[in-house]
Structure 1
């Protein structure tokens, strides 16, 4: 029960709220009218506490205790949400169900990647927890721990890798919250900022050196990669039915990932690439020499589709060493094709189509410094334009 006390001639209210003793100093003088007034106020406070409708800030808007009780209320809400979802399973159990449901949506390769992420990173931390009890603080703490995990090249996990680990966690928590009627803890958690794409293309001279130093059986493979800009999965999954020697084109319709043929990354990735004569010639020669029993253009010695990890380890990086060039990942062949096209003055719209981009936005964002008219900062392009009578 609340009581009134006096301090320095002014009244002080004392009462208990959420098991905590509260003292609020007033500016009212200690006299009978003021005591009667505050006794009525105390009765209202106690009644509202009993009915669980008491709002501390309503009665004492300037009190230092407000913050404390807000934090208590938030913890109580989280606890209430936990117990309001009595049927919610543990994280590991729900993750298995979620993965089974995703089988119809995802390729086998992507499913394996996500499953590996859950097994390696998520289950050891969240697996035994009730999924409705996982909170924002735990999520952020987990992300902080990831930033200290050693990476492949002696450093730590990159922001991009951390985001890829956090993505299935976000999807699982949001889906579980929807099914078991609790509030998802994933609120205002933004993805880590990813540094600008590492574009480190080869020069024309370096391209020739790489092809010359590679094993002969990979000359066609590398020529195709460097002069079509196809992604690793696209070139490894290329089939002869998609090569048109008459029209000098390649139809990019599928990708090979982890030994499985799958759909492409985006709708815009489905495209027709116009080939230069050099690529047409090496593909014709390759077909005459190659394994005629395989539908795939590029195969290993056993006639099976290429494994990108094996190719990178046994051919790509050893070839760079032999050529005396710095280490760069195979994806730089795609960047090389894009920058060579830009340097030659080809239309950005046509280049975007060749690469499988629906617009030129990414082209300008990623390769802006390789576009001559964008990297020239001395005004010479504008001057030449005016001297030419403003004629294109």
Structure 2
């Protein structure tokens, strides 16, 4: 019977060889000794010492195997990128052409927070799972579980890049799981709250803006970037072509499915007809819209639907579009005047979805109107809310079909 070899020890061409994982790669090194019982035991002990040195961050390939070709390869990459700072810089350069400026800004901020806890001068090879778990705990001391998860996803993405390129071992990331979070339910406006919000709006443009938001479900970046060239009041449609970011950049909608034609409900059509008197005749402006291809811009002339110039008391220094911050301030000040529950302005989008669902609209239609790729996102976001209104749906169906069932007299089977 063949004798079982120690873990990581093998016989190759009649001589003993050991293997181990280093920086995400399986390394094999010959020891040049015959496979006697004593040599096999010594090889197992040597391999265990190497694994321990790797785990503790003290492994020097050149010192253990000075004649190995792999030693020069790993020493070269180790010297090129040895610190966390170097890795951050390299990874951000790679991601720059893959993500939007807003996303890149988030990455920079998150990696900056990481380096408040873990020194940027720390060697990448010395990072351990324990370091990452302690980092996650550090984030939890000042942020929510959801935010901590967002931070860790970015950091794990960067370290995954490092593992792929052989700079760290993949097992450093093992066990650093997502924290459980409570799913937040949408808090849509009631019909009465919406009426109070509109009545509390100080200008007709604000009334039109919030009415359009609630009855189209547009993302706020899409709403403030809306142009008259996108609107067909005859057919009652809006073609969503662009989105305004938090940084003020104009770009294509969030996803490919976000480029869509929205069929407006009548209140939205009426609001835009009123808004037409306020901004339709304003001069066209030239804009550049960032495309999905890195560095590519598309230039066009448009007339914004909602303009800060309409309500501005000072005409100098006024931009062509509302900012997200201004929209946020408008929402909260109007909500306070209306005396309604404070909620995030994004709830206008949730209000659209919830009102449509309660009216019996098809979830697939709602998803297409909101720019979702499938109805699955509607169910995931509004599933709990829909469950709470199941009885309303049953009452609606009974009202529609209950009185239409054809009465069939009972047959006397005994006479057959």
> TM-score normalized by structure 1?
0.74
Equivalent position of 1:256 in the other structure: 244
Do the aligned partners of residues 349 and 108 (structure 1) sit closer, same or farther apart at CA in structure 2, a change above 3 Å counting?
same
Q: 1:63-212 alignment to 2 at 5 Å?
A: 75-78=52-55, 79=57, 84=74, 86-87=78-79, 88-122=81-115, 124-149=117-142, 157-184=143-170, 185-212=172-199
Report how far residue 200 of structure 1 moved: 0.6
What SS class does the counterpart of residue 376 from structure 1 fall into? Answer: helix
Determine the C-alpha separation between the residues in 2 that align with 1:287 and 1:382: 39
The structure having more radius of gyration, on CA atoms, is 1
Determine the C-alpha separation between the residues in 2 that align with 1:227 and 1:91: 48
| Stretch of structure 1 that moved more, 195-204 or 303-312 | 303-312
Report how far residue 129 of structure 1 moved: 1.2
Q: Are 1:300 and 2:308 counterparts?
A: yes
Do the aligned partners of residues 90 and 339 (structure 1) sit closer, same or farther apart at CA in structure 2, a change above 3 Å counting?
same
Equivalent position of 1:34 in the other structure: none
Query: How many residues in Structure 1 have an aligned counterpart in Structure 2?
Result: 325
Determine the C-alpha separation between the residues in 2 that align with 1:383 and 1:281: 32
Report how far residue 359 of structure 1 moved: 2.1
Report how far residue 172 of structure 1 moved: 1.0
Report how far residue 206 of structure 1 moved: 0.8
Report how far residue 204 of structure 1 moved: 1.1
Do the aligned partners of residues 215 and 82 (structure 1) sit closer, same or farther apart at CA in structure 2, a change above 3 Å counting?
farther
Equivalent position of 1:53 in the other structure: 44
What SS class does the counterpart of residue 191 from structure 1 fall into? Answer: coil
Equivalent position of 2:215 in the other structure: 227
269, 273, 277: which one pairs with 1:280? 269
CA contact (8 A) 1:242 1:250 kept: yes
Provide structure 2 residue ranges, at least 5 long, that are not aligned to the other structure: 1-35, 62-73, 286-301, 310-317, 408-416
- The higher relative CO (CA closer than 8 Å, separation ≥ 6) is in 2
Equivalent position of 1:267 in the other structure: 256
Report how far residue 287 of structure 1 moved: 3.0
Q: Are 1:357 and 2:372 counterparts?
A: yes
CA contact (8 A) 1:82 1:132 kept: no
Do the aligned partners of residues 319 and 383 (structure 1) sit closer, same or farther apart at CA in structure 2, a change above 3 Å counting?
closer
Pairwise CA RMSD of aligned residues?
A: 3.1
Provide structure 1 residue ranges, at least 5 long, that are not aligned to the other structure: 1-42, 57-69, 150-156
Report how far residue 311 of structure 1 moved: 2.3
